Structure 1
Amino acid sequence: MSEPLPDRWVTRARPAFLYVMYVLLLGAIPVGLVAAIRPACAAAIAHGMAAYLAAIPEPLYALFGTGYLGYTAARTVGKIKGVDR
């Protein structure tokens, strides 16, 4: 009996989720540059982003934190046991 092929979508899902969060965090760099040139525009951007982030339900933040910490812990344990490469 042959071993099933790994599901490529599953192996990409966890890193892709983290990359989305990194992109959101790195978006602060251009806003910082805008703030140096046009402070009023940067204030409007910050106000819009604050409203957007406030609209995200608290359970979604908890899900992200749980997923991030769970993935990190599972990878660490897997590497210590020698199961993961």
Structure 2
Amino acid sequence: MNEAEEAKADPWTQRARPAFLYVMYALLLWSVPMGLVAGIDPALAAAIIAGIRAYFEALPEPLYALFGTGYIGYTAARAWGKAKGAER
């Protein structure tokens, strides 16, 4: 976290990066119980996977583009700020 973020003491800014990582950890950890379900009842695992796939396919493509653009923009801005010495 840089000095500007610390000075603001904005809880949304402070939790943004850890929250994203927690979501990614949850997605990775979800594979463990899904592996157990698939070992016990492959049909149930297939039904769960089909439901999750249907959910993600129902999300509009512009939403994925917005997320990708925001994430890449944030990464580029951080790299530029660090290169200029504005951020640690």
- What is the total number of aligned residue pairs between the two structures? 80
Q: What SS does structure 1 have at the residue aligned with 2:46?
A: helix
Instruction: Quote the RMSD (CA, aligned, Å).
Output: 2.1
The alignment-based identity, stated in percent, is 60
Q: What SS does structure 2 have at the residue aligned with 1:43?
A: helix
Residue ranges of structure 1 left out of the alignment (5+ in a row): none
Residue 57 of structure 1 and its aligned partner are, at CA, apart by: 0.7
Alignment partner, residue 62 of structure 2: 59
Q: What SS does structure 2 have at the residue aligned with 1:50?
A: helix
Larger relative helix fraction: 2
In the alignment, structure 1 residue 75 sits paired with structure 2 residue 71: no
Alignment partner, residue 19 of structure 1: 21
Alignment partner, residue 28 of structure 1: 31
Report which structure shows greater RCO (CA 8 Å, sep ≥6). 2
